[in-house]
Amino acid sequence: MMNDANLMAFLANHRDEAYLLLQHYQDLQRPFLLHSDLQDELRRFCAEREESPLPGSALEELILATQEAALSAPWIYLAVRPAVARWHYLRFQVEQRHMERIPVEEFLAFKERLVLPASGDDRILEIDLDPFNRDFPRLQQARSIGRGVEFLNRRLSSDLFQSSGSGSWRLLGFLRVHQHQGTQLMLNQGITSVKVLRHNLQLAQEFLAGRGADEEWPQVGERLRELGFEPGWGRDAARMRDTMQLLADILEAPDPTSLERFLGRIPMIFRLAIISPHGFFGQDRVLGLPDTGGQVVYILDQVRALEREMRRRISEQGLDIEPRIMVLTRLLPEARGTSCDRPLEPIEGTSGTFILRVPFRTLEGEVVPHWISRFEVWPYLERFAAEARQELTEQLGGRPDLIIGNYSDGNLVASLLAQDLKVTQCNIAHALEKTKYLYSDLYWQDNEEQYHFSAQFTADLIAMNSADFIITSTYQEIAGRSDSVGQYESYQAFTMPGLYRVVNGIDIYDPKFNIISPGADSRVYFPASETARRRTDLHGELERLLFGAPDGESRGELREREKPLLFTMARLDRIKNITGLVEWFGQHRELRDAANLVVIAGHVDGARSTDREEQEQIARMHQLMDQYQLDGQLRWLGLHLEKELSGELYRCIADRRGAFIQPALFEAFGLTVIEAMSCGLPVFATQYGGPLEIIEDGRSGFHIDPNHGAQVAQRITEFLHRCQREPGYWEEISRNAIARVEQCYTWQHYARRLMTLSRIYGFWKYVTDLERKETRRYLEMFYNLQFRTLANRVPRRGG
Ligand code: UDP
Ligand code: LCN
């Protein structure tokens, strides 16, 4: 924590120097300075003077911790983040040499006046969710953020069960609500009180102890039913006893581990709804189409793992129920050669999982036939949710037991459905747009025509606050790092001048946040050294792709085939910075001598693209290839590779002792990073976002700073040189990359965690539901009065 007294002392003792620095900032004549601007200017300021007292001082500490400054002479306002997820605000009156702390709303109001001088409206709508959450438990330490369920278990097992036995009573109530299609599970009405439950648990355990360990419900069920028990305790007598023992222990002296183990066994998730409306959601030929990337890959792998895990758990608890999962997305009559015009499609590798497609409709109720950008879906979602609700319940044979939303639009629809159906809601953001674009909130009006962030951020606020729990792929997605703000953290306090001001939008210390990282499909992405599994049948095609001559789908031809290959593959969005990589490569002679570059992204023919940003990037690619004369050293494939091909391609690049480069300006997670690592391909990936956590720099791969391209090129060159000098070096990084993914990024671990979490949050929702009514009402009002208006301002393209 920063020490105000030290700061005051420094300001008193070095007034001139301190205020000269502030004056220096003011002289820049810029209304806002970011963290990096403040640091750069501080360095410049110190470099110009001899024996400055600033280095090491409390003022320097303050500036280093400042995320943002807002300036208008004689005032300087600072947003200070002295540690991860800790904020305070202060202001300086430079002329009078005065400093004071201020509340966040004053900081935001000052920013508003700088953007919209006429606003000065203190009556602007202020969003504050803090009062509603006052009585809810909160994590205390930043390092616990993202481990909500562990915290919740501790709290549940202590507080809840302490207050005059009400916890046990609530647990009893919870155990009585479980049913599947009219069949009662766990407990029946015979158990009328906690006392009876305790007593009958004892009797049931004694009874089961006298039976064969592998006897099943048909043999033991009659007696258990008389004692008030119903199916769901375990497949055989041994497991039934074990589950009962866990419950008996909890009723006697609850501890977090037994509570988690017990709740993890309750058969309560049979039907799942996963919501992902935008883009082209399909199993083939969709990646590379607009708005269609890792989210689709993630969900398809996720549902396979979840179905398997649901089936395992259901079976272990002795029930013969087939799990069912519906991935709800948008039906697109103009499907561009994909299956997105099919209302129902079974998902390969599953038996009860389907893609369910529901159309967007015009105001008159006509089906909207064409793709709509993810930035423009807002006016369609309410009607989509209503129609989907009907379809989902029909297809699932009842309401889902858990709803998982994806991205801003899916999370909003999940909120509507979860509220209507009274079901536990889980959110997954994949990537929040807010932090991707500089000043997307402050200068929202400038971007409104293209991006409609006012509707999107409002949807985000509603969805995050209505979710029962939120899954993130990394820690930094929630709370950032010491010098960068987390994606969720950025919703804590912000303003959209002239629209509303958020003083408490989300609390990242809320135990609803949990980190569960995704995996890469191990059927497809496996180490190059596993020769027996290799897809040698694809080598001919890959050979043509890598070393063929330019054609309508490719540009460039690799002249020196023996060189190692550097490989990159991504959607051709600006943020992916593929053109940045091409430029670094173009400019770095040594790197060009050491390796060839293979790029899979976008289209080579700009006319084939329908996306404005992609078209710009295509033009830039051509321009860079011309400018740096790259046609003999760079092969650009403007096509999409099916999964099997991309898996084998990563391995073929590994065979040639190459590397994968992920140069994004920001990457929320980065599935390609773990795919390449699973194949044993060393990876150089951006330090902004997920890869910072995935890769241990210098051990299982390398971090790169996309803002310093020359250094990146140098580092890759040195790596390639070192691999030549030291034969074991490439293998070492490759081995560590494989081990890292095996340890931290698997779908099996993901599914286990998610299935446990949904039960714990289901219980938590059950026991706290009454207290949440206020939040729900507030969010309903926010939705009705604010979101709807903003959504309806977004033009409906084609109806
Ligand atoms: N992908 C692909 N072919 C392409 C481009 C991408 O198969 O031409 C896949 C890639 O293998 C990965 C996903 O699309 O599974 C991209 O996910 P990532 O998380 O890297 O980025 P996103 O597109 O979600 O931003
Ligand atoms: C969206 C992104 O931008 C990627 O960084 C993620 O890996 C992907 O979704 C899957 O969560």
Whether 64 contacts 82, CB under 8 Å: no
Please give the distance, rounded to the nearest whole angstrom, from the Cα atom of residue 577 to the centre of ligand 2: 15
- Cα distance between residue 526 and residue 204, in whole Å: 48
Please give the distance, rounded to the nearest whole angstrom, from the Cα atom of residue 672 to the centre of ligand 1: 6
Task: Give the ligand 1 atom nearest the CA of 569.
Answer: 5
Please give the distance, rounded to the nearest whole angstrom, from the Cα atom of residue 486 to the centre of ligand 2: 15
Please give the distance, rounded to the nearest whole angstrom, from the Cα atom of residue 571 to the centre of ligand 1: 7
| pLDDT of 158 | 81
Please give the distance, rounded to the nearest whole angstrom, from the Cα atom of residue 297 to the centre of ligand 2: 9
Show the 3-state SS of 212-270: CCCCCHHHHHHHHHHCCECCCCCCCHHHHHHHHHHHHHHHHCCCHHHHHHHHHHCCCCC
Q: What is residue 491's DSSP assignment?
A: G
Whether 662 contacts 601, CB under 8 Å: no
CA nearest ligand 1 atom 6, residue:
570
Whether 543 contacts 772, CB under 8 Å: no
Q: How far is CA 32 from the centre of its chain?
A: 29
For residue 679, the ligand closest to its alpha carbon is 1
Mean pLDDT within 499-507: 97
Please give the distance, rounded to the nearest whole angstrom, from the Cα atom of residue 518 to the centre of ligand 1: 14
Whether 572 contacts 578, CB under 8 Å: yes
Please give the distance, rounded to the nearest whole angstrom, from the Cα atom of residue 762 to the centre of ligand 1: 33
Token code pair at residue 332: 């697109």
Strands 469-472, 424-428: pairing kind: parallel
Mean pLDDT within 364-388: 97
| pLDDT of 254 | 86
Any ligand 1 atom below 6 A from CB of 294? yes
| pLDDT above 60: residue 1 | no
Instruction: Name the residue of 287, 300, 521, 538 whose CB sits within 8 Å of the most ligand 1 atoms, as the mutation to test its pocket.
Output: 287
| pLDDT above 80: residue 164 | no
Whether 401 contacts 269, CB under 8 Å: yes
Strands 75-83, 86-93: pairing kind: antiparallel
Whether 314 contacts 352, CB under 8 Å: no
| Residues pairing with 327 in the sheet | 274, 355
Instruction: Name the residue of 428, 671, 672, 695 whose CB sits within 8 Å of the most ligand 2 atoms, as the mutation to test its pocket.
Output: 671
Any ligand 1 atom below 6 A from CB of 569? yes
| pLDDT of 483 | 85
- Cα distance between residue 659 and residue 657, in whole Å: 7
Query: By C-alpha distance, which of 617, 668, 601, 145 is closest to 433?
Result: 668
| pLDDT of 612 | 82
- Cα distance between residue 216 and residue 235, in whole Å: 6
Residues 6+ apart with CB under 8 A from 260: 149, 153, 756, 760
Strands 324-331, 469-472: pairing kind: unpaired
For 393, phi then psi, to 5°, come to -65, -35
Query: By C-alpha distance, which of 559, 557, 538, 539 is closest to 548?
Result: 557
Strands 271-275, 402-406: pairing kind: parallel
For residue 640, the ligand closest to its alpha carbon is 1
| pLDDT of 425 | 97
Instruction: Name the residue of 295, 487, 666, 686 whose CB sits within 8 Å of the most ligand 2 atoms, as the mutation to test its pocket.
Output: 295
Residues 6+ apart with CB under 8 A from 403: 272, 273, 274, 275, 414, 417, 418, 421, 423, 424, 425, 426
| pLDDT of 376 | 96
- Cα distance between residue 21 and residue 59, in whole Å: 10
Any ligand 1 atom below 6 A from CB of 499? no
Q: Is 117 left (phi over 0), alpha (psi -120 to 50) or beta?
A: alpha
Task: Give the ligand 2 atom nearest the CA of 689.
Answer: 5
| pLDDT of 558 | 98
Q: What is residue 368's DSSP assignment?
A: P
- Reported as a single tens digit per residue, the pLDDT across 177-195 is 999 989 999 999 999 999 9
- Cα distance between residue 62 and residue 385, in whole Å: 48
Whether 76 contacts 69, CB under 8 Å: yes
Please give the distance, rounded to the nearest whole angstrom, from the Cα atom of residue 294 to the centre of ligand 1: 5
pLDDT band for 609, please (50, 70, 90 cuts): confident
Q: How far is CA 468 from the centre of its chain?
A: 16
Please give the distance, rounded to the nearest whole angstrom, from the Cα atom of residue 652 to the centre of ligand 2: 25
Task: Give the ligand 1 atom nearest the CA of 642.
Answer: 7
Please give the distance, rounded to the nearest whole angstrom, from the Cα atom of residue 337 to the centre of ligand 1: 19
User: What is the largest distance, in Å, between two alpha-carbon atoms of the chain?
Assistant: 89
Instruction: Name the residue of 281, 297, 473 whose CB sits within 8 Å of the most ligand 2 atoms, as the mutation to test its pocket.
Output: 473
Please give the distance, rounded to the nearest whole angstrom, from the Cα atom of residue 307 to the centre of ligand 2: 22
* Integer angstrom CA distances of residue 770 from 162, 456, 764, 774: 19, 29, 11, 9
| pLDDT above 90: residue 369 | yes
Please give the distance, rounded to the nearest whole angstrom, from the Cα atom of residue 671 to the centre of ligand 1: 7
Token code pair at residue 43: 């360095």
Whether 685 contacts 576, CB under 8 Å: no
pLDDT band for 457, please (50, 70, 90 cuts): very high
Task: Give the ligand 2 atom nearest the CA of 298.
Answer: 10
Cis peptide before 74 (omega within 30 of 0): yes
Q: How far is CA 560 from the centre of its chain?
A: 41
Whether 109 contacts 501, CB under 8 Å: yes
- Cα distance between residue 63 and residue 7, in whole Å: 11
| Residues pairing with 77 in the sheet | 70, 91
Any ligand 1 atom below 6 A from CB of 287? yes
CA nearest ligand 1 atom 24, residue:
294
Please give the distance, rounded to the nearest whole angstrom, from the Cα atom of residue 465 to the centre of ligand 2: 22
Please give the distance, rounded to the nearest whole angstrom, from the Cα atom of residue 379 to the centre of ligand 1: 28
| pLDDT above 60: residue 729 | yes
Q: Which residues line ligand 2 (CB under 6 A)?
A: 294-295, 298, 430-431, 473, 667-671, 690
Instruction: Name the residue of 285, 525, 569 whose CB sits within 8 Å of the most ligand 1 atoms, as the mutation to test its pocket.
Output: 569
Q: For helices 747-768 and 166-176, what crossing angle results, to 10°?
A: 110
Any ligand 1 atom below 6 A from CB of 641? yes
Whether 552 contacts 639, CB under 8 Å: no
Instruction: Name the residue of 671, 674, 679 whose CB sits within 8 Å of the most ligand 1 atoms, as the mutation to test its pocket.
Output: 671
Please give the distance, rounded to the nearest whole angstrom, from the Cα atom of residue 575 to the centre of ligand 2: 12
Please give the distance, rounded to the nearest whole angstrom, from the Cα atom of residue 288 to the centre of ligand 1: 8
Q: What is residue 142's DSSP assignment?
A: G
| pLDDT above 90: residue 170 | no
Task: Give the ligand 2 atom nearest the CA of 667.
Answer: 5
Any ligand 1 atom below 6 A from CB of 170? no
For residue 598, the ligand closest to its alpha carbon is 1
CA angle 392, 396, 398 (to 5 degrees): 90
- Cα distance between residue 454 and residue 442, in whole Å: 10
* Integer angstrom CA distances of residue 31 from 73, 116, 338, 435, 691: 10, 12, 48, 20, 33
Show the 3-state SS of 146-184: CEHHHHHHHHHHHHHHHCCCHHHHHHHHHHHCCEECCEE
| pLDDT above 90: residue 348 | yes
| pLDDT of 771 | 65
Mean pLDDT within 485-504: 96
CA nearest ligand 1 atom 8, residue:
640
Q: Is 166 left (phi over 0), alpha (psi -120 to 50) or beta?
A: alpha
Token code pair at residue 451: 């991006």
One-letter identity of residue 773: K
| pLDDT above 90: residue 49 | no
| pLDDT above 60: residue 321 | yes
Task: Give the ligand 1 atom nearest the CA of 675.
Answer: 11
Task: Give the ligand 1 atom nearest the CA of 295.
Answer: 24
* Integer angstrom CA distances of residue 233 from 248, 255, 321, 750, 787: 13, 20, 14, 24, 45
* Integer angstrom CA distances of residue 80 from 142, 167, 493: 16, 41, 12
Please give the distance, rounded to the nearest whole angstrom, from the Cα atom of residue 609 to the centre of ligand 2: 21
CA nearest ligand 2 atom 6, residue:
669
For residue 286, the ligand closest to its alpha carbon is 1
Token code pair at residue 13: 């003792």
Q: What is residue 532's DSSP assignment?
A: G
- Cα distance between residue 664 and residue 430, in whole Å: 15
Please give the distance, rounded to the nearest whole angstrom, from the Cα atom of residue 424 to the centre of ligand 2: 24
CA nearest ligand 2 atom 1, residue:
430
Q: Which residue has the higher pLDDT, 609 or 426?
A: 426
Q: What is residue 367's DSSP assignment?
A: B
Query: By C-alpha distance, which of 188, 230, 240, 250 is closest to 210?
Result: 240
For 707, phi then psi, to 5°, come to -85, -5
Mean pLDDT within 253-279: 95
- Cα distance between residue 495 and residue 608, in whole Å: 39
CA atoms within 13 A on the CB side of 382: 12
Task: Give the ligand 2 atom nearest the CA of 518.
Answer: 11
Any ligand 1 atom below 6 A from CB of 645? no
Show the 3-state SS of 57-126: CHHHHHHHHEEEEEEECCEEEEEEEEECCEEEEEEEECCCCEEEEECHHHHHHHHHHHHCCCCCCCCCEE
Please give the distance, rounded to the nearest whole angstrom, from the Cα atom of residue 302 to the centre of ligand 1: 15
For residue 288, the ligand closest to its alpha carbon is 1
Helix (H, G, I), strand (E, B) or coil at 135: coil
| pLDDT of 519 | 98
- Cα distance between residue 379 and residue 670, in whole Å: 30
Token code pair at residue 469: 């729990």
pLDDT band for 122, please (50, 70, 90 cuts): low
Please give the distance, rounded to the nearest whole angstrom, from the Cα atom of residue 490 to the centre of ligand 2: 18
| pLDDT of 361 | 97
Task: Give the ligand 2 atom nearest the CA of 670.
Answer: 7
| pLDDT of 2 | 64
Mean pLDDT computed over every residue of the chain: 95
Residues, the chain, total?
A: 799
Helix (H, G, I), strand (E, B) or coil at 504: strand
- Reported as a single tens digit per residue, the pLDDT across 634-692 is 999 999 898 999 999 999 999 999 999 999 999 999 999 999 999 999 999 999 999 99
- Cα distance between residue 635 and residue 548, in whole Å: 9
